[in-house]
Amino acid sequence: MDRVALSGLKARGHHGVFPKEREEGQTFIVDLVLGLDTRPAAADDDLAKTVHYGIVAEEVVAVVEGEPVNLIETLAERIAQACLKHEGVQEVEVRVHKPDAPITVPFDDVTVTITRSRV
């Protein structure tokens, strides 16, 4: 399986369990690895035979900016399902970063990574 990766997609969302997170929002960063067969697209040099990663990026940002959820695990699942709606995508790895998580000790990042596939 081939891979198409998108790294560092940024969007502001209002996800979290605390009222301040829901009210003020924060930046979330998403990394994706889409698993698909790119050979048909490469053979014909045809965008229609692969995944349009620009459209995927816009859809992922819309999910992050959309309906709030409590957990980034839930957000990651919603993103994965949006990616799998694209016909050629057989598998997706989603990593959601929450660099401004409300943690009381110094830290660099909090992430959740999930892998989903068509089964």
Give the catalytic positions in this structure: 98
The answer to whether residues 21 and 101 touch, using CB atoms and an 8 Å cutoff, is no
Angle at 91 between CA 86 and CA 94, to 5 degrees: 95
Angle at 35 between CA 48 and CA 108, to 5 degrees: 120
How many residues can be counted in the chain?
119
